[in-house]
């Protein structure tokens, strides 16, 4: 190879190497540029990592904060769940105490309710006390002026008091309110305040000096709010229930009093009035004994007329009922066992287990006619409301008893007048003396035998006494005639039932007995007089009177014959049963006599 060729090759190789070097330099520059870019990216990544670390720290702090908030919320929800829909205050307090002690970690939890009347905090429930301390808790009330309680109520926020050496713990009044409790080093007073008044307080007691954190304070404030709301709702509910019960009780009392009033005033029978009152009195006043004593001035004592005590007579000097009569005032004894000089009646009540009694006078025209009494086997059993009800009841009874007495007096006067008139009728002839009274007795006995009620018996008594009143228009000569009556004389005698009915017809009050008087001579077969009634057409009481009248007429002496013995009379009744007399009534008479 020539020298020139070799130089050319070298130049070519050198050129290639230069180009390669230049290329390497470019690559190096590119790599250097990439290195600078990567450094920027690394710095950016470092910055990003620093940001991430900061964010992570913030997140962790947020998570921790959220976790704390969730814990507080969970605790408050626990309180809310425990107190939700709680209407029973005692049950509510029990749940609150358990929940509060668990949430606050206190050693002792005390719950007090506010007594608005006495303006004191009264003990309700506790948890954590030793058994021997419980009686002291139960018997000690808290004054609103005790220092921590005063501060709590004034600020309406919980108050935490610790007892480090430099704190005037005892001077703050805490020991004054809780001197019976040892080892108080931290105390939390949680106020329970409603919209218009105090509701109560919760006292949390720690035996050590406790650091109360913000989280603890939030929980305590939440307890204050939640329990206050629940307690006020429970109290409002109880108040509404109490008022509903009270209103219902008053309505029931008014209704029962109206029933008693209607029942008592619907009868004129004294015994019915007394028994109705005794039967219904327990519906308006809770009692285990009720009795009515009526004054008997003639005998100098009381008659027990109705009630669940042994009936009988009690002298004035043997019972303090006399004080009611003398003072005309009610008498209330809340505990018979504490009476020093106890009288026989009250001693017997005490021996029967009755401790308290309430007595009110029955007054008529300014005079005590009796005493209404109720008793119970517990002391202090009766209230002023019971007294008011009993006084109203006594007033109703007094009116009813006085009406009954007036009616009885009128009835006695009326019956006395009728008996006098009956005696005047029978006195027209020595042969008929006492006839009406004997007929009346027979008729009453028959009426009772067939089951007539009291009104029916009274009607038949009047009918018996007046059945021959029409004989006032009959001549004595006919009644005393020794021989057989002429047809004209007998026809005159047969007119006395009609005349009797005519005499009685103007008297409105006894018109209901006129059928007895008019038809007591009717026959069961229709052949009697004056109207010829037959069988069931004849009034029942007239059929009774027919037999009673005939029995006495057959048994009495007459100017024309001697009276018949009872066996003969019985034979006549059997003989004429179904013709002259109602056979069913004859059978009743024969069973009685």
**Residue 320 included in any domain:** yes
Instruction: For residue 315, give the 3-state DSSP assignment.
Output: strand
d(CA 510, CA 523): 24
d(CA 590, CA 566): 11
384: number of Cβ within 10 Å: 8
Mean pLDDT, rounded, of the chain: 80
CB contact at 8 A, 221 and 157? yes
**Residue 263 included in any domain:** no
Beta strands in 365-441 (DSSP E): 367-376
72 and 95 assigned to the same domain? no
Residue of higher predicted confidence among 479 and 213: 213
Mean pLDDT of 217-223: 83
Which of 163-172, 246-255, 371-380 is the most confident on average? 371-380
Q: Which of 342, 337, 330 is nearest to 373 (CA)?
A: 330
313 and 376 assigned to the same domain? yes
d(CA 304, CA 403): 20
Residues 6+ apart with CB under 8 A from 68: 215
Distance of CA 521 to the CA centre of its chain: 59
Please, which pLDDT band fits residue 166 given cuts at 50, 70 and 90? Answer: very low
535 and 462 assigned to the same domain? yes
d(CA 59, CA 55): 6
**Residue 5 included in any domain:** yes
d(CA 75, CA 219): 7
What's the pLDDT score for residue 170? 45
| Number of domains comprising the chain | 4
391 and 471 assigned to the same domain? no
What's the pLDDT score for residue 511? 87
**Residue 332 included in any domain:** yes
Angle between helices 384-426 and 435-449 (to 10 degrees): 130
What's the pLDDT score for residue 51? 66
Final residue of a structural domain among 17, 48, 78:
78
91 and 234 assigned to the same domain? yes
Q: Which residue has the tokens 């009797």?
A: 500
What's the pLDDT score for residue 121? 92
Q: Examine the pLDDT at 165 and tell me if it is beyond 70.
A: no
Residues 6+ apart with CB under 8 A from 532: 522, 526
What's the pLDDT score for residue 393? 80
Model pLDDT for residues 333-390, shown as the tens digit of each residue: 889 888 888 898 888 889 888 999 999 998 888 888 889 888 899 888 888 888 888 8
Q: Examine the pLDDT at 411 and tell me if it is beyond 60.
A: yes
Going by their DSSP bridges, the two strands 186-193 and 142-143 should be labelled as: unpaired
91 and 235 assigned to the same domain? yes
Q: Examine the pLDDT at 276 and tell me if it is beyond 90.
A: no
What's the pLDDT score for residue 174? 47
Least confident of 94-98, 366-370, 397-401, 473-477: 473-477
d(CA 138, CA 129): 11
What's the pLDDT score for residue 287? 84
Model pLDDT for residues 188-217, shown as the tens digit of each residue: 999 998 888 889 999 999 988 888 888 788
318: number of Cβ within 10 Å: 17
CB contact at 8 A, 530 and 518? yes
Model pLDDT for residues 110-155, shown as the tens digit of each residue: 999 999 888 899 999 999 998 888 888 888 888 888 878 888 888 8
d(CA 257, CA 277): 10
Token pair in block for residue 261:
């009033």
49 and 92 assigned to the same domain? no
Please, which pLDDT band fits residue 168 given cuts at 50, 70 and 90? Answer: very low
What's the pLDDT score for residue 441? 93
Percent of the chain whose pLDDT exceeds 70: 77
Q: Examine the pLDDT at 157 and tell me if it is beyond 60.
A: yes
Q: Examine the pLDDT at 267 and tell me if it is beyond 70.
A: no
Give residue 554's domain range. 427-592
d(CA 390, CA 375): 12
**Residue 262 included in any domain:** no
Residues 6+ apart with CB under 8 A from 190: 100, 152, 158, 201, 202, 203, 204, 220, 223, 224, 227
What's the pLDDT score for residue 202? 93
Burial letters 541-573, b for 16+ CB under 10 A, else e:
bbbbbbbbbbbbbbebebeeeeebeeeebbebb
Distance of CA 465 to the CA centre of its chain: 51
CATH code, domain carrying 288: 3.30.450.40
What's the pLDDT score for residue 253? 64
Final residue of a structural domain among 58, 78, 98:
78
235 and 275 assigned to the same domain? no
CATH code, domain carrying 497: 1.10.3210.10
Which of 143-152, 187-196, 257-266, 442-451 is the most confident on average? 442-451
Ramachandran assignment for 28, one of left (phi > 0), alpha (psi -120 to 50 degrees), beta (any other): alpha
CB contact at 8 A, 486 and 503? no
Model pLDDT for residues 5-15, shown as the tens digit of each residue: 767 777 777 77
578 and 443 assigned to the same domain? yes
What's the pLDDT score for residue 407? 75
Q: Which residues pair with 565 in a beta bridge?
A: none
d(CA 570, CA 589): 9
Query: What pTM, to 2 d.p., does this model score?
Result: 0.49
Mean pLDDT of 248-265: 66
**Residue 578 included in any domain:** yes
Q: Examine the pLDDT at 429 and tell me if it is beyond 60.
A: no
CB contact at 8 A, 459 and 541? yes
Least confident of 158-172, 191-205, 268-282, 321-335: 158-172
Q: Which of 566, 559, 564 is nearest to 430 (CA)?
A: 559
520 and 470 assigned to the same domain? yes
Instruction: For residue 506, give the 3-state DSSP assignment.
Output: coil
Residue of higher predicted confidence among 273 and 337: 337
Q: Which of 435, 457, 465 is nearest to 558 (CA)?
A: 435
What's the pLDDT score for residue 169? 42
Q: Examine the pLDDT at 426 and tell me if it is beyond 70.
A: no
Q: Examine the pLDDT at 567 and tell me if it is beyond 60.
A: yes
What's the pLDDT score for residue 172? 43
What's the pLDDT score for residue 65? 57
43 and 108 assigned to the same domain? no
CB contact at 8 A, 224 and 217? no
Final residue of a structural domain among 27, 52, 78:
78
329 and 277 assigned to the same domain? yes
């Amino acid at each position: 190879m020539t020298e020139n060729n070799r130089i050319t090759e070298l130049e070519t190789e050198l050129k290639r190497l230069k180009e390669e070097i230049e290329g390497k330099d470019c690559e190096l520059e590119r790599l250097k540029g990439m290195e600078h870019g990567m450094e920027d990216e690394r710095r950016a990544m470092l910055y990003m990592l620093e940001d991430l670390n900061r964010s992570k720290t913030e997140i962790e702090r947020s998570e921790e904060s959220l976790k704390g908030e969730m814990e507080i919320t969970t605790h408050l929800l626990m309180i809310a769940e425990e107190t939700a829909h709680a209407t029973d205050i005692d049950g509510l307090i029990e749940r609150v105490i358990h929940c509060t002690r668990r949430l606050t970690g206190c050693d002792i939890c005390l719950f007090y309710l506010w007594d608005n009347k006495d303006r004191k905090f009264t003990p309700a429930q506790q948890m954590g006390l030793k058994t021997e301390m419980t009686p002291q808790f139960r018997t000690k009330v808290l004054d609103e002026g005790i220092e921590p309680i005063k501060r709590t109520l004034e600020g309406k926020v919980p108050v935490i008091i610790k007892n480090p050496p430099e704190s005037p713990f005892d001077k703050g009044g805490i020991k004054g309110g809780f001197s019976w409790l040892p080892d108080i080093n931290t105390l939390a007073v949680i106020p329970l305040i409603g919209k218009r008044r105090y509701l109560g307080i919760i006292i949390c007691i720690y035996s050590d000096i406790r650091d109360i954190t913000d989280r603890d304070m939030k929980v305590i404030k939440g307890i204050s709010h939640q329990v206050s709301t629940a307690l006020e709702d429970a109290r409002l509910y109880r108040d509404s229930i109490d008022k509903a019960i009270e209103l219902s009780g008053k309505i029931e009392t008014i209704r029962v009093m109206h029933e008693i009033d209607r029942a008592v005033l619907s009868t004129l029978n004294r015994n019915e009035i007394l028994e109705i009152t005794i039967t219904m009195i327990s519906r308006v006043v809770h009692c285990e004994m009720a009795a009515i004593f009526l004054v008997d001035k003639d005998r100098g004592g009381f008659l027990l007329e109705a009630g669940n005590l042994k009936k009988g007579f009690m002298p004035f000097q043997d019972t303090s009922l006399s004080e009611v009569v003398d003072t005309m005032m009610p008498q209330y004894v809340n505990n018979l066992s504490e009476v020093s000089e106890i009288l026989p009646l009250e001693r017997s009540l005490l021996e029967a287990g009755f401790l308290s009694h309430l007595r009110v006078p029955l007054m008529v025209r300014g005079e005590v006619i009796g005493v209404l009494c109720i008793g119970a086997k517990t002391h202090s059993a009766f209230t002023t409301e019971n007294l008011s009800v009993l006084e109203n009841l006594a007033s109703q009874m007094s009116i009813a008893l006085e009406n009954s007495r007036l009616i009885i007096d009128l009835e006695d006067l009326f019956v006395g007048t009728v008996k006098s008139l009956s005696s005047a009728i029978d006195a027209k002839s020595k042969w008929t003396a006492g006839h009406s009274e004997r007929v009346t007795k027979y008729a009453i006995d028959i009426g009772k035998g067939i089951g007539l009620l009291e009104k029916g018996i009274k009607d038949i008594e009047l009918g018996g006494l007046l059945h021959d009143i029409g004989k006032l228009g009959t001549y004595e000569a006919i009644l005393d005639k020794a021989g057989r009556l002429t047809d004209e004389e007998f026809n005159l005698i047969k007119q006395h039932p009609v005349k009797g009915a005519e005499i009685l017809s103007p008297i409105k009050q006894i018109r209901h007995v006129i059928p007895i008087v008019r038809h007591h001579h009717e026959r069961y077969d229709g052949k009697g007089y004056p109207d010829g009634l037959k069988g069931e057409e004849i009034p029942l009481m007239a059929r009774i009177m027919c037999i009673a009248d005939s029995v006495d007429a057959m048994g009495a002496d007459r100017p024309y014959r001697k009276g018949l013995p009872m066996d003969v009379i019985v034979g006549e009744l059997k003989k004429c049963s179904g013709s002259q007399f109602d056979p069913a009534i004859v059978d009743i008479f024969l069973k009685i006599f």
